[in-house]
Structure 1
């Protein structure tokens, strides 16, 4: 009997050592932190928007997983290829000048090691900006079956632009305080990607965000930080704030209301009749574009429905011109 207990003890010790070792290995990063924010140049621009309308799009691309995003179901490689081709086809027809992406994979196991930023840059953009918000050796989610685990993760937010991106700042927003340590170790960073773009000699500020999806208290804190950033910019430069805010304005005390009621900025859409999520049967609006009317004149805005279910979100767009404020 003593041998049995001893064997069980050794087994439990080995299991503990394995679990701790796996946890430390899997939750560690593989990408140099110094490269968590990077600027790209794909080709010479030679592009001018003088006397022309500029089109900006915001799209939570859901790593091109369509409606299988975060679900424990089989997502064949052909699904990602189809969704990429559809997205490139639609955006190729629209020919936006700037696209801001959320939830885009740079080389992750879950999306078959495709650098989606590089693939979409083939639309002809001259400049790009990336910020990493999820860098793990192995993400054991969805929890079951094990074959559906995300595995190696390198994901984040990005911008593609016809205009030169002069500067970029990666700002990490508040984390969920109530997360257990084992979940927090694998959880992504929520970011504000702050950019400066040069458009015909004028400086345009852009803030690309992806806010907390599951904890409203944390999202409220993040919104306050965004308002702080906006307050320091909106009276000085043309500003576009866009992204996935994970907040439905129809909900009581919705986090997004603080931005919708803020003086000096305005939502690109005057109503919320056009929903963005989920893409197959939209019933809520959580994706937005804001701008400051003192510097920017909106021409048109809406939802891009043609991409269908390439993501679980639909993109939003705004056509605008920069006002002559001199």
Structure 2
């Protein structure tokens, strides 16, 4: 009996130690944090000069091109991702944007077959400048939990902005974290980010924010959106501001943080408050959209809204539709 108890004890110790070794190995990063924010020149000879008066913007959560399989226990094939890349490039070429802001873009992670989607999209669309932020860097992410064959594995993902305007300054800012998460969960979770990019439109400096706020914890999401609103208003005192992203905040949610960006006359939105949740405004999910999570905002002192739309013709290469706006700089 004592031998059996001792054997069981050894097995339990082995399992615990092995699990701890795996955990600390899996949560470890694959690159140096100082490289999480980078500006890149794509070295493309783009002969089309961007307008100095009208700025076209697209914000798109591409869901690492996983379509409706995003965060499900499905492992799409490499051909599936290649087909979605071809499709999204064809669609984006139909809507050439001066500023393309992307969320959930992979930089060579296992789940999307180690393709650097930033390099492919930037080069194929002939952008001259880009900047990228890493918000999820893990050696091995064991999600979705079952079966193990669908685990994400090596993770390297984040956000990006591509443009033909000169980039003067760039900053990666980590938003507040969910305080209720247990340590083991937080250790594997992504950082919620905003990219702050200063570009030059003619002789005018313009500040662009690309945000991706918390999806699952409402209190944290509201806190993040309030932080973004305050930052927007501070910058708008100095220069034109554009803020875009996946805010994960549908206007119909109780205590919807996104509505706080609608209660200040200095902040304009692609969609009026009265037009929220109407036909043609819903962005998620792409198979049967019922939520409006993706937005473009601008400083009303500096811009006039010329046009906007949800680009539903992009189909299901992501679980989000992109949003588009044309903004005219005031003289």
Using structure 1 for the length normalisation, give the TM-score.
0.97
Once residues 45 and 77 of structure 1 are traced to their aligned partners in structure 2, the CA distance between those partners, rounded to angstroms, is 31
**Residue 221 of structure 2 aligns to a residue in which SS?**
helix
Assess if the C-alpha contact under 8 Å between 1:45 and 1:163 holds in 2.
Answer: no
Deviation of 1:52 after TM superposition, in Å, equals 5.7
Between the aligned partners of 1:81 and 1:46, the Cα distance in structure 2 is: 28
1:298 to 291, 296, 305: 305
CA shift, 1:251, in A, is 2.3
Structure 1 CA distance for aligned equivalents of residues 65 and 81 of structure 2: 6
Q: Deviations over 1:178-207 (max 9, x none)?
A: 111111110000011110011112111001
What is residue 290 of structure 2 aligned with on the other side? 283
1:164 Cα deviation from its structure 2 partner: 1.4
Q: Alpha-carbon deviation of 1:54?
A: 2.5
| Alpha carbons 1:109, 1:150 under 8 Å: kept | yes
Distance 1:51 1:224, change over 3 A: closer
SS, match of residue 321 in structure 1: strand
Q: CA deviation at 1:235?
A: 2.2
Q: After superposition, where does 1:9-158 map in structure 2 within 5 Å?
A: 9-43=9-43, 47-50=48-51, 53-121=54-122, 122-158=124-160
Cα RMSD, aligned residues only: 1.2
Partner of 2:198: 196
Taking the aligned partners of 1:51 and 1:322, their CA distance within structure 2 comes to 8
- Structure 2 segments unaligned to the other structure (5+ residues): none
Residue range with higher mean Cα deviation, 182-191 or 248-257: 248-257
Q: Secondary structure at the match of 2:17?
A: helix
Give every structure 1 segment of 4 or more consecutive aligned residues whose post-TM-superposition deviation is greater than 6 Å.
none
What displacement does 1:220 show?
A: 1.1
SS class of match (2:23)? helix
Verify the 8 A CA contact 2:41 2:130 in the aligned structure 1. Answer: yes
> Does the 8 Å CA contact 2:100/2:163 hold for their aligned counterparts?
yes
TM-score scaled by length of structure 2? 0.95
Residue pair 1:207, 1:242 contacting (<8 A) in 2 also? yes
Give 3-state SS (helix, strand or coil) of 2:188's partner. coil
Q: Quick one: distance in 2 between partners of 1:151 and 1:49? A: 40
Where does residue 309 of structure 1 map in the other structure? 316
Alpha-carbon distance in structure 1 between the residues aligned to 2:176 and 2:98: 31
SS of 2:146's partner is coil
Q: Secondary structure at the match of 1:17?
A: helix
Residues 46 and 235 (structure 1), Cα distance of their counterparts in 2 relative to 1, 3 Å cut: farther
Give the Å deviation of 1:229.
Answer: 0.9
8 Å contact 1:304–1:315 — kept in the other structure? Answer: yes
In structure 2, relative to structure 1, the CA distance for the partners of 1:167 and 1:51 (3 Å cut) is closer
Give SS of 2:190's match.
coil
State the alpha-carbon separation in 2 of the partners of residues 37 and 31 from structure 1. 12
- Greater displacement, 137-146 / 5-14: 5-14
- 5+ long unaligned stretches in structure 1: none
Cα distance in 1, alignment partners of residues 231 and 3 from structure 2: 65
Distance 1:293 1:231 in 2: 11
Aligned positions of 1:225-244 closer than 5 A: 225-244=227-246
Q: Is the partner of 2:199 in helix, strand or coil?
A: strand
Residue 215 (1) aligns with residue 222 (2): no
Q: Equivalent residue of 1:251, what SS?
A: coil
The count of residues paired between Structure 1 and Structure 2 equals: 324
Q: Equivalents in 2 of 1:211, 1:162: separation in Å?
A: 26
Aligned position for 1:263: 265
Report Cα offsets for 1:87-117 as digits up to 9, x if no partner.
1001112111110000110111000000011
Q: Find the counterpart in structure 2 of residue 246 from structure 1.
A: 248
